Amino acid sequence: MPLRFYNTLTQQLEEFQPQDGKTVRMYTCGPTVYHYVHIGNFRTFSFQDILRRTLRARGYALDHVMNVTDVEDKIIRASMAAGQTIQEYTAQYTRAFLDDAALLRLERPERIAFATEHINDMVVAIEGLAARKHTYVSDGSVYFRIASFPQYGRLSHTNFSGNIAGARVEVDEYEKDDARDFVLWKARKPGEPAWDTPLGDGRPGWHIECSVMAQKYLGQTIDIHTGGVDLIFPHHENEIAQAEALTGKPFVKYWLHAEHLMVEGQKMSKSLGNFFTLRDILEKGYSPEAIRYLLVSAPYRKQLNFTFDGLKAATTSIDRLRNFDLRLRNERFPEGLNPQMQERAAAALTAFHAGLDEDLNTADALAAIFEFIRDANTAMDSGEFKSGDTPAARDLLTAFDSIFDVLKPTVQEGALSDAEIEELIKERTQAKKSKNFSRADAIRSELLEKGIILEDTKDGVRWKRKS
Ligand code: AMP
Ligand code: ZN
C-alpha cells in the first residue's frame, strides 16, 4: 500500500515519495523557548515523532531539522522582566524542552538549529530578497512586500487580493485576515538585544529564521514541513513567500499540520492560561508513557480534547498492552501451532501498517492491535494459543512498539530494574520451596511497597508495575 499524507497545500491526500527516493528531508517548527513547553505543543511534536518512525519503518532515511526560536518578541519581554540576557533566559527552557521531549520518547531530529546562531544567514537572505525587489525599508526596519509575491495565500487558501494595500505589521504574530507586509528585520529598540549587520543594528523577525535554516540544511526544495495548524497563517505562508521569492522554486512538497489539543472547547495555549506542562502532569502521578499514548492515540488531523479521564484511559490501555506482553513472555502454552492464530497475527500486522500508511491513522493502527490482543487473550485462556504462535504475536508487538514506544516503563529514580525484580522473585520462590514463608512474604511486601504487584499463576509468578 502506498504511504499517503494529507497535504495542506493541495488539500488532498497524496502518495508520498521523497525527492531522492531514499532520504526524507523534513523541517519542523520547533518551540519558542520563553517558558516551559505545554502538552498542547507536545501533541504536535509527538505527531512528528510518529511521522518519523513511520517513515523509517517504510525504509526511508531521515534528515530532519528542527529550529529553536531563541529570539523574538515574547522572549525579549520575558528576559528583560527577569533581568537576564536572552541567552541566559532561553538556555533553561531549551534544556527543559529537550528533557521533556526525551521523557516523552520523542526521537531527536538529526539537527536542532538555533535562530541566534543563524543571524548572518538571515541577513544574506534578506539582502537577496532586497536585490529582487521584494522588500522595502521603513524607520530602519525591513519589510517583505507581499504584493510582490502574487502566490501569497496559496497555503492558507485565502484570497488576499483585496487587502494587500501595503499596510505593514511589525509584530511577529497577527490575526488571520491581516495580510500585511511583514517584518524581516527589526530596527533596534532601546534595551533590546541587537546585531550590528549590513541591514543596520537590529534583529530578525520571527518568520525568516525557518525558511533560511530549512534551505541551508535541506536544500531549496524540501520534502516535508510540519507544524501545528495555527502556524499555517501567517508563519508558513510567510516562509513560502521568503523562500520562493528568493529561489523561484517550490519550497516544500508536502505540508503537514497537526490539529490542536483542546481544553473544554478551546485551544490549549499559554495566552489562555488553560495549559499543563509535562511536569504538571507527572507531578499528579501519571507516567510519561500515558501522556505520550494519549497525545498520539487520536489521528493528528483531528482535534483532541485533553481530560484526566483520557489520561486514565491511556494508562489502562498501556496496562493491557503490557499485561499481554508479560503473558507472552511468562506463560507456557501448549506445544504446536494454531493456523488461525497465525492468520490473525498476520492480518493485524497488515491492518496496523495500513492504518499508519493512510495519513498516520493511529486510531486504526491501535484498533488492529487491540483486536488481536482480545482474540489472543481469549485463545490463551482456552488453550488454543500454542507455543508456536508466540513469535508472530511478538513480532506484532515489536512493530507496534517501534512506533508507539510505550511498552517499557519509565524507571523512576530509585525504582527497581526488571533484573532486580526478577532476582527477588527467584529468591521468594526459593524461600517458599524451603518453607521460609516469612521471608517469602517479606519479599512480596517489599516489592509491593516499590509498586510491583506479584501474581502467582499455575505457570509461575507474573509481575507488573503498578501504574
Ligand atoms: P510555539 O512554541 O508556540 O511556536 O509552538 C510550538 C508548536 O506547538 C507549533 O507547531 C504550534 O503550532 C504547536 N501548538 C501550539 N499550541 C498547540 C495545541 N494546543 N495543540 C497542538 N499543537 C499546538
Ligand atoms: Zn517556523
Measure the CA–CA gap between 59 and 61, rounded to whole angstroms.
7
Among the bound ligands, the one closest to the CA of 252 = 2
Nearest to 207 by CA among 177, 155, 242: 242
Ranges of the chain whose pLDDT falls below 50: none
Residue 41 Cα to ligand 1 middle (Å): 4
Quick one: pLDDT at residue 163?
60
Residue 44 Cα to ligand 1 middle (Å): 6
Protein residue with least CA distance to atom 11, ligand 1: 228
Residue 112 Cα to ligand 2 middle (Å): 13
C-alpha cell at 146: 507581499
Measure the CA–CA gap between 241 and 220, rounded to whole angstroms.
13
Q: Which residues line ligand 1 (CB under 6 A)?
A: 29, 31-32, 40-41, 43-44, 227-228, 230-231, 258, 260-261, 267-269
Nearest to 142 by CA among 200, 84, 220: 200
Model confidence, pTM: 0.89
Ion ligand 2 contact residues with beta carbon within 5 A: 29, 210
Measured N-to-C along each axis, helices 73-82 and 86-103 cross at an angle, to the nearest 10 degrees, of 110
Q: Which atom of ligand 1 is nearest to the CA of 43?
A: 21
* Sole residue written with cell 508466540: 390
Residue 106 Cα to ligand 2 middle (Å): 19
> Side chain identity at 235, as an amino acid letter?
H
Q: What distances in angstroms separate CA 121 from CA 31, 115, 136, 194, one per listed residue?
A: 20, 10, 19, 15
Q: Which atom of ligand 1 is nearest to the CA of 33?
A: 2
Q: Which atom of ligand 1 is nearest to the CA of 261?
A: 20
Residue 288 Cα to ligand 1 middle (Å): 19
> Side chain identity at 333, as an amino acid letter?
F
Quick one: pLDDT at residue 456?
86
Quick one: pLDDT at residue 69?
97
Beta bridge mates, 6? 13
Q: Which atom of ligand 1 is nearest to the CA of 267?
A: 19
86 neighbors 194 (Cβ within 8 angstroms): no
